[in-house]
Copies of this chain bind each other. A is one copy, B any other.
Amino acid sequence: MRPMICALVVAACLVAGSVPFPAHAQTPATPPTGGGPVDRALLEDVATASRILADQGVLDAFGHVSVRHPKNPERFLMSRSLAPALVTADDVLELDFAGNAVDARGRSLFLERFIHAEIYRRRPDVMAIVHSHSPAVIPFGVTTRPMVALYHNAAFLAGGVPIFDIRDKFGATDMLVRNGEIGRALAESLGDKPVVLMRGHGNVATGPSLQIAVFRAVYTEVNARLELQAIGIGGPITALTPEEGIKADMVNEQIVGRAWDLWKQRVGGK
């Protein structure tokens, strides 16, 4: 039923001209309660993260980053539907796990906010999430060769990188995580790993902090590029073992600030 209604709505939109995609704004009769006031600095960090990821080539016109609400673990903060390079602190909204905005004020939400909602729901350790179509990673989502950690900055990949194929449970779709049911299937594929690939779509990188999630999104992209090159050289690849991965990733988590500060400077932050 829903696909048919969607098709009619889309057809109507095509006729009528460019209309923002109905964001399942689902403005319920009573909006969800907020998680409490948030430091503006955190909203600025979400915006900075978004612009960093665009500048680093992880996000293009699409994709998004969020952070769990610091006081209420059942809320998260995410930009309104906007190209990542353009996000500012004033664009950041608070949402609940059903994908409803606490205070939308007419702003459109990202269709795929359910990626974030369902991963936060399933993974209490995850404090930030990046969903991207980062280019070098996409080919690894449509092939069968496992992604491995080529070097220490990508150590968080050494424990394995699952692939979520929406077709397994949902047949032929438009590939998008457009509701909680699909989001839960994706979160299940992610399991306890930091990164999951989405066949024919992109990937999700998670972290215990915003800076770490951003770091992981960037270095997943770098690592994919390098793994492709290693495959091209030919022969066996001696990637990081799981144990090396755990140890090296502890260091990553310590030095992530140096990368953040450099990347932030490039996008005009201080």
Contacts and interface: CB of A to CB of B under 8 A. Distances in A.
A236 interface: yes
Interface stretch (A2-10, A24-32, A33-41, A98-106): A2-10
A247 B62 contact: no
A253 interface: yes
A172 interface: yes
A133 B252 CA distance: 14
A264 to B, nearest CB: 11
Contacts of A58: none
A86 B265 contact: yes
Given A172-B243, A250-B7, A253-B14, A151 B21 contact: no
Chain A: interface size category: 35 or more
Q: Which of A153, A174, A251 gathers most chain B CB within 10 Å?
A: A174
Given A62-B153, A262-B85, A199 B238 contact: yes
Nearest to A14: B253
B253 A10 contact: yes
B200 A244 contact: yes
A75 to B, nearest CB: 21
A180 interface: no
